[in-house]
Chains A and B, each alone.
Chain A
Amino acid sequence: MKDISRLFIPLAGVIVLLLAGCSDTSENQEEADADAGSTGSDETITLGYYSSGSADEKMEDIISQFEEEHPDITIETQNSPYQQFFQKLDTQIAGGNAPDVWLSDGVFVQKYAERGAAKDLTEWIDNDLETDEYYGLDFNKGPEGKYWAVPQGIQIGALFYNKDMFDKAGVEYPDDSWTWEDLKEAGAELTLDTNGNTAENAEFNAENINQYGLTFFNITEGWMPVLKSYGGGVLDEDLQTSVIDTPENLEAVEYMTDGMERGIFTDPSDLQAFQSPMSPFPSETAAMRIGIYARTLAANETGVNYDVTVLPKGPDGERFSPVIANSWIINEDTSDAKAEAAWEWIKYWVSEDDVQRQWAELGEAVPVKKSVANSDMFLNSGEKPENKQAFLDSFEFADTLDVNAVWSEWVDQMTDNLNKTFLNEVEEEEALESADKDVQQVLDEFYED
């Protein structure tokens, strides 16, 4: 073995160089930033977004168009896949290093707002945007009436149905007259066991199903629309009190558990047999799904022959469509100059028809600008589904998912309890009672100071 110093000294040298190299560049970077700030004209802002679909390339493309039109603003991007993006963002916010402007999932806007990470945009929105021209601005309002974010694209729920399966079973396509009971009845004729019996047949085997009537998953594309159209829900208007343990919710949950027991709806354990809980509809194993707009991508990818219509009504004629307005948030801690540059970007995004059109072409989200969403380009693009109008019609009875600062936390509690009754482990009443207690505890822990 060679003498130790021969190995160690060069190695130590390499490390010192690597370290010095790194810290050096970043110091220079900071100096450069400071210089730019002092002249007051050129601004470099960091923009964070989570990767979604094939949209990243388009996002970078739109950013460079923006930079061309705003030569005094440079945008540096940070992007990661969804889950990692928000992990990183939380760390960055705690470490005081968050991007100047970022794209937030709609359900997290209040979390950032109430924790002081998001800038209050009320004044800018009132001054610079015609609020009537856009979908979804109000979905980012907190209970105190302030705007915390501006929608980047809108996800709104509708009923997807597989035309081929309906034709084969000789069932009429769903329309806006349907109630949830109608859906279950049609679903029964569309549910097939391995022997080809429908759920209406006496010999039907609910343990061995080849084709489901409705795929049913989690909150947005599962229990929330049903609860709400039955007149129930999770939180009251101040978003700090649970209203889970009500007769309306009980009726809704009994409707769902009955559907699952009869094999018409997928229950949480059925979904585990699939590559992803999203795959039953695109893989043609389910005749219907409650789906947000983005689900059209996977259905188009596998070439399902399908269309959409508005979600069914509850027993009293009430209708509900879940909406998630994924939105731009400006960092509360960023400098005024950078915040203004970030606002330029947001304005550019929502108000430029051309940008809205380019984004809509991806088929990722319903455009924020009403004029673009109602144009031929969006409604009659030639891509399925034919009845895209259903998504726009749904805005009339759309609302958010009772989003507050501890949304993820209470959804976990609610889901755990509901899943127990969906899997027949506890009675419906018991599940709601226990969910009510658990959710209220989460709310109290955050709001009660």
Chain B
Amino acid sequence: MKKNFHKNRKKIGYIVIILSSLIMFTPFITATLNSLKTYAQYTAVPVEWIPDPIRWENYSDVWQMTDFALYGWNSLIVTVMSVLGAILSCSMVAYAFARLEFPFKNSLFFMVLGTLMIPPVVMIIPQFIIFRHLGFLDTLVPLWILEWLAQPFGVFLMRQAFLGIPKAYEEAATLDGCTPFQTYWRVFLPMCKPQLATLTIFTFMTKWNEIMAPVIYLSSAEKYTLPIGVLQMSGAWFGKEQYLVAAAIMSLIPILIVFLLTEKFFIKGASSSGLK
């Protein structure tokens, strides 16, 4: 009886998971189907769900009509530099807040968190003026440099991770002759891989999809990142919106790859910690 109930509960669980993932997946499937339609089909009322004929050419057309590879490369530079910057700067600052003693530590930490409350729009113009004076306009630098200055969300995330590691590790490392920096780098950082993976995915996704900053800082087409490059085409693809969808799907692929690569760290997460 009890076993049966357990079995059923598992079944119900699966049904719920399947249903909810179907709901989550529908927009993605719709978009994929839309990307394979002709414009007439794309706008048809009532909606024609299944493309007929399937236009794979939409994808090759997009590849030929845009500098997709160039925009992708620019996006990659921005994203990789951002991820590196976020991981290094956030974890260092967070380590200091979590494990080191210095005056005004707590007030400073609250100040860092406080900056999370400043709405980003009010910073656009001051940042623009600063970058202008630094001569960074129309370069990729403004798109990633801020990540090297320890963004508060990442600091908070990493600080919580470091706080969760028992002090015994730190003592053991000190006994073995580690400096505080070596303790951070060799002992603590490797133990926080799940959080680093989280930070990586977050930063990757935000930067890969970012529109506002590239629009404001980039002027020449050869510096465009993918979202802005694709958006740029939206005018020229007026009446051919199926291309926009195809381009959007194409620019999703790298995010999927990064997610699949870092996914195992998410799952390992909780289980791998603790002293043996």
Q: Which of A221-229, A278-286, A395-403 contacts B (4 or more CB under 8 A)?
A: A278-286
Interface flag for A80 (CB, 8 Å): yes
The residue in chain A whose Cβ has the minimal distance to the Cβ of B186 is A1
On whether the beta carbons of A285 and B45 are closer than 8 Å, the reply is yes
On whether the beta carbons of B141 and A56 are closer than 8 Å, the reply is no
Given contact pairs A81-B232, A84-B231, A91 touches B125 in the complex (Cβ within 8 A) = yes
On whether the beta carbons of A275 and B39 are closer than 8 Å, the reply is no
Interface flag for A173 (CB, 8 Å): no
Proximity bits, B230-268, A CB within 8 Å = 1, else 0: 011011101111000000000000000000000000000
Q: In the docked arrangement, what's the CA distance between A385 and B22, Å?
A: 45
On whether the beta carbons of A51 and B134 are closer than 8 Å, the reply is no
On whether the beta carbons of B43 and A27 are closer than 8 Å, the reply is no
Q: Which of A160-168, A296-304, A312-320 contacts B (4 or more CB under 8 A)?
A: A296-304
Q: In the docked arrangement, what's the CA distance between A283 and B125, Å?
A: 42
Proximity bits, A255-286, B CB within 8 Å = 1, else 0: 00000000000000000011100010011010
Interface flag for A55 (CB, 8 Å): yes
B residues in contact with A84, CB < 8 Å: 211, 215, 228, 231
On whether the beta carbons of B216 and A55 are closer than 8 Å, the reply is no
**Residue from B42, B185, B216 with most neighbouring chain A CB atoms (10 Å):** B216
On whether the beta carbons of B216 and A53 are closer than 8 Å, the reply is no
B residues in contact with A92, CB < 8 Å: 128, 216
B residues in contact with A78, CB < 8 Å: 219
Proximity bits, B147-190, A CB within 8 Å = 1, else 0: 01000000000000000000000000000000001100110001
Interface residues of B in 9-42 (CB under 8 A from A): 39-40, 42
Chain B nearest CB from A161 CB (Å) reads 18
B residues in contact with A82, CB < 8 Å: 235
Q: In the docked arrangement, what's the CA distance between A285 and B40, Å?
A: 13
B residues in contact with A283, CB < 8 Å: 43-45
Q: In the docked arrangement, what's the CA distance between A79 and B234, Å?
A: 12
B residues in contact with A19, CB < 8 Å: 141, 145
Selected from B148, B211, B231, B235, the residue in CB contact (under 8 A) with A56 is B235
Selected from B145, B186, B232, B238, the residue in CB contact (under 8 A) with A80 is B232
Interface flag for A22 (CB, 8 Å): yes
Chain B nearest CB from A75 CB (Å) reads 13
Given contact pairs A52-B235, A297-B238, A298-B238, A80 touches B39 in the complex (Cβ within 8 A) = no
Interface flag for A129 (CB, 8 Å): no
**Residue from B124, B211, B238 with most neighbouring chain A CB atoms (10 Å):** B238
B residues in contact with A88, CB < 8 Å: 215-216
Chain B nearest CB from A18 CB (Å) reads 7
On whether the beta carbons of A53 and B238 are closer than 8 Å, the reply is yes
On whether the beta carbons of A22 and B132 are closer than 8 Å, the reply is no
**Residue from B45, B84, B228, B241 with most neighbouring chain A CB atoms (10 Å):** B45
On whether the beta carbons of B185 and A51 are closer than 8 Å, the reply is no
B residues in contact with A22, CB < 8 Å: 135-136, 139, 141
A residues in contact with B186, CB < 8 Å: 1
Interface flag for B129 (CB, 8 Å): yes
The residue in chain A whose Cβ has the minimal distance to the Cβ of B224 is A80
Given contact pairs A275-B241, A298-B239, A81 touches B125 in the complex (Cβ within 8 A) = no
Q: In the docked arrangement, what's the CA distance between A404 and B238, Å?
A: 29
Interface flag for A426 (CB, 8 Å): no
A residues in contact with B216, CB < 8 Å: 87-88, 91-92
A residues in contact with B141, CB < 8 Å: 18-19, 22
Interface residues of A in 76-112 (CB under 8 A from B): 76, 78-82, 84, 87-88, 91-92, 94-97
A residues in contact with B129, CB < 8 Å: 95-96
A residues in contact with B148, CB < 8 Å: 15
Interface flag for A26 (CB, 8 Å): yes
Interface flag for B112 (CB, 8 Å): no
Given contact pairs A80-B228, A87-B216, A26 touches B135 in the complex (Cβ within 8 A) = yes
Selected from B134, B181, B219, the residue in CB contact (under 8 A) with A23 is B134
The residue in chain B whose Cβ has the minimal distance to the Cβ of A15 is B148
Selected from A15, A26, A54, A94, the residue in CB contact (under 8 A) with B238 is A54
Chain A nearest CB from B64 CB (Å) reads 15
The residue in chain A whose Cβ has the minimal distance to the Cβ of B46 is A210
Interface flag for A11 (CB, 8 Å): yes
The residue in chain B whose Cβ has the minimal distance to the Cβ of A284 is B45
Given contact pairs A53-B238, A80-B232, A84-B211, A302 touches B132 in the complex (Cβ within 8 A) = no
On whether the beta carbons of A97 and B128 are closer than 8 Å, the reply is yes
A residues in contact with B241, CB < 8 Å: 275
Proximity bits, B120-145, A CB within 8 Å = 1, else 0: 00001100110010111111010001
On whether the beta carbons of B215 and A4 are closer than 8 Å, the reply is no
Given contact pairs A4-B182, A297-B239, A302-B43, A91 touches B190 in the complex (Cβ within 8 A) = no
Q: In the docked arrangement, what's the CA distance between A25 and B139, Å?
A: 10
Chain A nearest CB from B180 CB (Å) reads 12
B residues in contact with A80, CB < 8 Å: 215, 228, 231-232
B residues in contact with A95, CB < 8 Å: 125, 128-129, 132
The residue in chain B whose Cβ has the minimal distance to the Cβ of A28 is B135
Interface residues of A in 6-24 (CB under 8 A from B): 11, 15, 18-19, 22-24
The residue in chain A whose Cβ has the minimal distance to the Cβ of B215 is A84
Interface residues of B in 82-137 (CB under 8 A from A): 84, 124-125, 128-129, 132, 134-137
B residues in contact with A302, CB < 8 Å: 39-40, 43, 239
Q: In the docked arrangement, what's the CA distance between A55 and B233, Å?
A: 11
**Contacts A95-B132, A282-B239 supplied; 19 other A-B pairs, CB < 8 Å:** A4-B181, A4-B185, A11-B84, A26-B138, A50-B235, A80-B215, A81-B232, A82-B235, A88-B215, A91-B124, A91-B125, A91-B216, A92-B128, A96-B129, A279-B43, A298-B238, A298-B239, A301-B239, A302-B239
Closest 4 CB pairs of A and B: A51-B235, A26-B135, A301-B239, A23-B135
Residues in A lying within 8 Å of B, measured CB to CB: 1, 4, 11, 15, 18-19, 22-27, 50-57, 76, 78-82, 84, 87-88, 91-92, 94-97, 273-275, 279, 282-283, 285, 297-298, 301-302
28 contacts between A and B (CB under 8 A): A1-B190, A4-B182, A11-B84, A15-B148, A18-B141, A19-B145, A22-B139, A23-B136, A24-B135, A26-B136, A26-B137, A51-B232, A52-B238, A54-B236, A55-B235, A80-B228, A81-B234, A81-B235, A82-B235, A84-B228, A87-B215, A87-B216, A88-B215, A91-B124, A95-B125, A274-B45, A301-B39, A301-B239
